[in-house]
Amino acid sequence: MRIAVAVASKHGATKEIGHAVVERLRELGHDVSEHDMASTSAEDLDDAQALVLGGAVYFGRWPNEANDLVDGLADRVDGRPVWLFSSGPVAREDEPPSVEEPTIAIDGTMQALDAREHVMFGGRLDKNTLSFVERAVARALRAPDADTRDWTVIREWADKIDSALKAS
């Protein structure tokens, strides 16, 4: 099946999750295209029979380019199955949450695209890669540098998408 995976990532962690999903779906026999939302329009995804959209969470939201793409897609989804994922929390299990609001306002996106599911994966925080303002926020929140992405869980999620598509 032709699947498009489109990602909004500021510092690469979400992009790497998207790539892992792409690779797993390809292993399972799908024809998968990989997109950066910053340079992707809804029309670019017209060929896909299923969509996987992922965003990094900053202050409880996906980056702006993700919202632009979602707006464009709302009229074009046309019954195609959509799955959503986010990359966010970096708190370690032995520590309190590193960000005050480790949740995301995703309900509007779920409804606009009639998405089947939204999953929250872990994230990566490396203060050396952040902008001045982002670094100041991360320091103020005492967020530790960490990478809590679980590649097994991510690949299993791709397996679940494959199963759902093969069952439909």
- Give the interface with ligand FMN as residue ranges (CB under 6 A): 9-15, 56-60, 87-90, 99, 101-102, 123-125, 130, 134, 137-138
CB of 121 to ligand FMN, least distance (A): 8
State in angstroms the smallest separation of the CB of 71 from ligand FMN: 21
| Pick 142 or 168: Cβ nearer ligand FMN | 142
Nearest to 164 by CA among 25, 27, 34: 25
Nearer to ligand FMN, 3 or 99 (CB): 99
**Ordered DSSP codes for 75-90:** TT-TT--EEEEEE---
User: Is 31 in a helix, a strand, or coil?
Assistant: strand
- Minimum distance from CB of 19 to ligand FMN (Å)? 11
Closest CA to 160 of 34, 50, 46, 37: 50
- Of 146 and 164, CB closest to ligand FMN: 146
Backbone angles phi, psi at 87, to 5 degrees: -120, 120
